[in-house]
A and B are shown apart, each in its own frame.
Chain A
Amino acid sequence: AQSVTQLGSHVSVSEGALVLLRCNYSSSVPPYLFWYVQYPNQGLQLLLKYTSAATLVKGINGFEAEFKKSETSFHLTKPSAHMSDAAEYFCAVRQTGTASKLTFGTGTRLQVTL
């Protein structure tokens, strides 16, 4: 069964600093990978997805993620954090070839300070 592990339940960065949120996946077959963002009291919004095309995926709001098969990782980055990026970020995996569910990680809360 596939799963994802998000290292760090809380990450704090200064405004303008690099954002790095870590996600490692476990899957017996090449997966589809997603990053979702959840702002307070809101639903889940898709940031970006990897579906076996380009390994470097660009998403909304300046975020990007790189699929690294050798490291089984799909870390989320943004060069320069904004205050508006403060939210909870979830990595999720979905196995290819099935009418399949998303399996989410435990989430990382990003705090952005002045």
Chain B
Amino acid sequence: EPEVTQTPSHQVTQMGQEVILRCVPISNHLYFYWYRQILGQKVEFLVSFYNNEISEKSEIFDDQFSVERPDGSNFTLKIRSTKLEDSAMYFCASSPGDLGEQYFGPGTRLTVT
């Protein structure tokens, strides 16, 4: 069964460093999403992406964040200068259509020290 994959599973970085989280969505899906879950809190929407552009973003998704689909298969989330409060589990999701269910990857645990 096709699944969303994410790498790395765990990333440790120092405050102020740039990180890139990678996702490979399900191959025939058209919509892509990033969510995050700070430890002990609920899952929060960051950004959605369709047709090579951002379709919606949350207040969390400020200028420090960017997304890219560089090669037609990967979907990346970049954080330019990490802060302690960026420590969280980051989930990628993809969907075959606008209203289709979203399939989630296993997540990348980002720890900022």
Contact, CB under 8 Å: A99 / B31: yes
Q: Which residues of B contact A44 (CB under 8 A)?
A: 43, 91, 93, 104
Q: By DSSP majority rule, is chain B's interface helix, strand, loop, or mixed?
A: strand
The answer to whether A106 touches B42 (Cβ under 8 A) is yes
Q: Most B CB atoms within 10 A — which of A32, A44, A45?
A: A44
Chain A residues whose CB sits within 8 angstroms of the CB of B98 once the complex forms: 98-100
Query: In the complex, are the beta carbons of A102 and B50 less than 8 A apart?
Result: no
| In contact, B101 and A101 (Cβ under 8 angstroms) | no
Q: Report the interface size class on chain A.
A: 20 to 34
The smallest C-beta distance from B20 to any residue of chain A, in angstroms, reads: 19
Mark each residue of chain B from 43 to 87: 1 if its CB lies under 8 Å from any CB of chain A, else 0.
Answer: 111001010000110100000000000000000000000000000
Q: Are B104 and A51 in contact (CB under 8 A)?
A: no
Which residues of B lie under 8 Å from residue A102 when comparing CB positions? 33, 35, 43, 45, 102
Seen from chain B, the residues whose Cβ lies within 8 Å of a Cβ on chain A are 4, 31, 33, 35, 41-45, 48, 50, 55-56, 58, 91, 93, 98-99, 101-107
Within 8 A of B (CB), among A9-29: none
Q: Is there an interface contact between A51 and B42, defined as CB atoms closer than 8 Å? A: no
Asked if A104 and B91 make an inter-chain contact with CB atoms under 8 angstroms apart, the answer reads no
Across the A-B interface, give the 9 residue pairs with the lowest CB-CB distance, nearest first.
A101-B45, A44-B104, A43-B106, A104-B43, A43-B104, A106-B42, A99-B55, A104-B42, A99-B98
25 contacting pairs across A/B (C-beta < 8 A): A32-B99, A42-B106, A43-B4, A43-B91, A43-B104, A43-B105, A44-B104, A45-B104, A46-B101, A46-B103, A92-B43, A98-B98, A99-B31, A99-B48, A101-B33, A101-B45, A102-B33, A102-B45, A104-B42, A104-B44, A105-B42, A106-B41, A106-B42, A107-B42, A107-B43
